[in-house]
Structure 1
Amino acid sequence: MEIRSLVRGSCERFCPDAEAKMRIQKKLLHYFEYKDGQKHVPGVLVKEFTRSAADAKVPKAKDMRTELCLTKTVEYLLKDILLDERKPYHLAYDFIFDRLRMVRREIVIQQYNARQTIRLLEPMIMFLAYSRYRLCAEPIEKFDPKICNQHLQECLNMTLCCYKELDDEQETQENKSTIRDFQRRCFIEALYQVFNLGTSEALVRGLALPAEVREDKIFKLAFGICMNYHQGNLYRVIVGLPQLPHIICAVSASKLEMIRRRLMEIFTHAYNNKQLTVPTSYLLRLTLVEPPILAELCRQYNIALTPDRKAVHFIKTDFRSSAETIKARREPFIEAKLERIYLPEVLLLKKLWL
């Protein structure tokens, strides 16, 4: 069997010269690659994703970017393009998603080590997690949450494998990570737990992590929420979610409607009585919603509100089990957290505190 030699990229441009020349000639530039949106003036080009054919040759060094160039590419996409408001966010997301996918491919082709891979993948995880929340209410033709979830899970799994590889190295070499690297890892580990809320794999991983990670404040909070969910204590889950930091809190939005549905169903059994009602003020606090959203929940699952809308009447036989869970939405308490941050700084993991 022929063993292919490892090729390291030598290109210092976001887009290699050969691809840039071809795409300019064929007018294949994206809106964000034209200078100030002018269709006839090329601006900053970024290497686009292309699928590799089965018989494709190993790319030449000049057609692959260096690690430094890949890092600058990620920073450019998650700052300049992310904040470009000339077009709706879903179009910026599509562009960034495609270009980051090519960065991931070059990581694999060049066989970067665990530390190199982690530094490039962590911002991608943050971008996908944020976009999953920001675009959650968009129609399927503008944003497909399943594809975003799939790529987010792939990036998380790849990053967690790299963390494990570094843990194994440290046992033999005493090669300790920096404080900043450790903080980034704890944040990503916490994000993984919340994104995989309800899965046994996430809980098993959490229990097997190094003690210093398990004792981290953010991770302990996220893992505690996941344990409470596993134990069926949804009240503590709901109370804990708003305490999570920005992006992790945003990730939890995709789980909230499922949790609300379970709560409402539990209440139809716990308060099943023709004479008994539950105050809406209590349910509003418990479900983290405003009155119009609570009314929507009741309509969706066939739960009766009293005429004055100050109480809810639960009857277990009336609960509509066949109803679809309401689609995830942007939540006021999460919006408040995101308004207080400078997004590129957070997505690039330069600031992670609560």
Structure 2
Amino acid sequence: MCDTIIGTCFSMCPKKERLLREREGLLNRLEIDESTKHLKYPKADPAKIIKCYKRSSAGVLVDEPSELRPGPVLLLTLKYLFTKVLTRKDVNWSAIYEFTFDRIRAIRQDMIVQRLDVAMNIMLLEPIVRFHIYAAERMCEKPPSEFVSKFNEQHLLECLKVLLVMYDKRDIDDKSRNDYAMVMEKFSRLTMYDYRAQIEALYVLNYLGNETALDRGLSLPAKYKNTPEVKKALKISLAWHMNNYIRVCREISQLSPLFAMAALSNLRCIRRSALQIMSSGYNCKNNPYNMIDLQNILLYNDMEKISNDCALYGIKFDNDNIYFQKTQFNAVNVLAHPEKHLSDSALDELLPDILFN
């Protein structure tokens, strides 16, 4: 007996949910039919409304076929979110992020309930992983009321774990196929680009120095391990594993935007560790360290961020210099202050292409 559920909803939002949310006034402003926005209960634009995330609980059915969107519809929904919603300039990006984050959770829920095949999981999860990495950079300086970095990181890790398992499963499936099936599989892959090397590199970069990520990277099949992006990621991660913060930051500064965003998620930790190391290595009251040199080494964009971090860790400073003292370093278990490295305009220009390749 087959217990696989196949969704029969061929729109981005099931009709039942659309009517309920219209009736209860639960539409997001990104989903409203503009011609009805003046009404007390505006109507949804069928081309904009997207199924929202619902927690599994008593009385809430998440496995009703008519409420589930099949894989191709989920792909179209994701494409709409990334090309039509994320690129809007008339809405605050915090609101866009909140909306997109929720709708992606609903997409992932539909994926899990239907037990979609390996290929469809990969096609859906790859751009979702890129979204969470992009959002971490764009939203990092926002207050907790608008962005909880740990929540975004948690969902990124969940997606990465599933995606990496899917890559491994695809490898196992390839080995178990007969010659004819292998030929057909390779032929079908000609229609889509293999982004595995990119994702494997992003995993290593997002968790610099992490032994699990390093072990996976070093154990990859040669055709992925020997790609430039994976080799570079492993080089940076190994450097951080050895606390070589100067090399790590220098290498990060040379990365392309998406890889840099993944690596920069570690920068708060890198800065904290580097400042502690420097407090011992440059421990001299009469030999100040130039603040501009520190800015260049630890990739600070804003000099004020240096002052804030020095104050956080009890390091004395003035307008131009830092006075490292080992005994004065406040070894609190707190990361350095977050800092965004790309402007909103620069980040806007990257959309939507950065999410699809």
Fold in common (TM above 0.5): yes
> Which of 251, 271, 282 is the equivalent residue of 1:240?
251
- The SS at the match of 2:266 is helix
The change in CA–CA distance for 1:54 and 1:193 in structure 2 (over 3 A counts) is farther
> Which of 321, 324, 340 is the equivalent residue of 1:311?
321
**Match for residue 352 of structure 1?**
none
TM-fit CA distance, 1:323: 7.0
TM-score by length of 1: 0.89
Residues 1:214 and 2:222 are matched in the alignment: no
- The SS at the match of 2:322 is strand
Deviates more, 1:3-12 or 1:20-29: 3-12
TM-fit CA distance, 1:341: 4.2
**Match for residue 273 of structure 1?**
284
**Match for residue 38 of structure 1?**
37
Which blocks of at least 5 consecutive residues in structure 2 are unaligned?
Answer: none
Residues in 2 aligned to 1:339 and 1:139: alpha-carbon distance in whole angstroms: 19
Q: Counterpart of 1:63 in structure 2: which amino acid?
A: E
TM-fit CA distance, 1:337: 10
- The SS at the match of 1:302 is coil
- The SS at the match of 1:100 is helix
The change in CA–CA distance for 1:112 and 1:72 in structure 2 (over 3 A counts) is same
Deviates more, 1:109-118 or 1:285-294: 285-294
The change in CA–CA distance for 1:278 and 1:57 in structure 2 (over 3 A counts) is closer
> Which of 313, 325, 347 is the equivalent residue of 2:355?
347
The change in CA–CA distance for 1:292 and 1:140 in structure 2 (over 3 A counts) is closer
Residues in 1 aligned to 2:303 and 2:56: alpha-carbon distance in whole angstroms: 52
Residues in 2 aligned to 1:279 and 1:58: alpha-carbon distance in whole angstroms: 59
8 Å CA contact retained: 2:252, 2:264: no
8 Å CA contact retained: 1:300, 1:323: no
* Number of equivalent positions: 342
Percentage identity across aligned positions?
28
TM-fit CA distance, 1:212: 1.0
Residues in 1 aligned to 2:63 and 2:272: alpha-carbon distance in whole angstroms: 50
**Match for residue 124 of structure 1?**
128
Residues 1:78 and 2:77 are matched in the alignment: no
The within-5 A match list for 1:77-156 is 77-156=81-160
Deviates more, 1:275-284 or 1:149-158: 275-284
TM-fit CA distance, 1:165: 0.4
Residues in 1 aligned to 2:135 and 2:21: alpha-carbon distance in whole angstroms: 28
TM-fit CA distance, 1:339: 4.6
Q: Counterpart of 1:166 in structure 2: which amino acid?
A: R
> Which of 254, 262, 266 is the equivalent residue of 1:255?
266
- The SS at the match of 1:296 is helix
8 Å CA contact retained: 2:224, 2:230: yes
Q: Deviations over 1:65-99 (max 9, x none)?
A: 12221111001111111122333111111111111
TM-fit CA distance, 1:57: 5.5
Residues in 2 aligned to 1:86 and 1:343: alpha-carbon distance in whole angstroms: 15
Residues in 2 aligned to 1:7 and 1:291: alpha-carbon distance in whole angstroms: 55
> Which of 18, 23, 26 is the equivalent residue of 1:25?
23
Which blocks of at least 5 consecutive residues in structure 1 are unaligned?
Answer: 350-354
8 Å CA contact retained: 1:273, 1:314: yes
TM-fit CA distance, 1:330: 0.4
Residues in 2 aligned to 1:204 and 1:55: alpha-carbon distance in whole angstroms: 44
TM-fit CA distance, 1:60: 3.5
> Which of 313, 334, 341 is the equivalent residue of 1:324?
334
CA RMSD, Structure 1 to Structure 2 (Å): 2.4
TM-fit CA distance, 1:58: 6.6
Residues in 2 aligned to 1:105 and 1:34: alpha-carbon distance in whole angstroms: 24
Residues in 2 aligned to 1:281 and 1:255: alpha-carbon distance in whole angstroms: 21
Residues in 2 aligned to 1:326 and 1:31: alpha-carbon distance in whole angstroms: 36
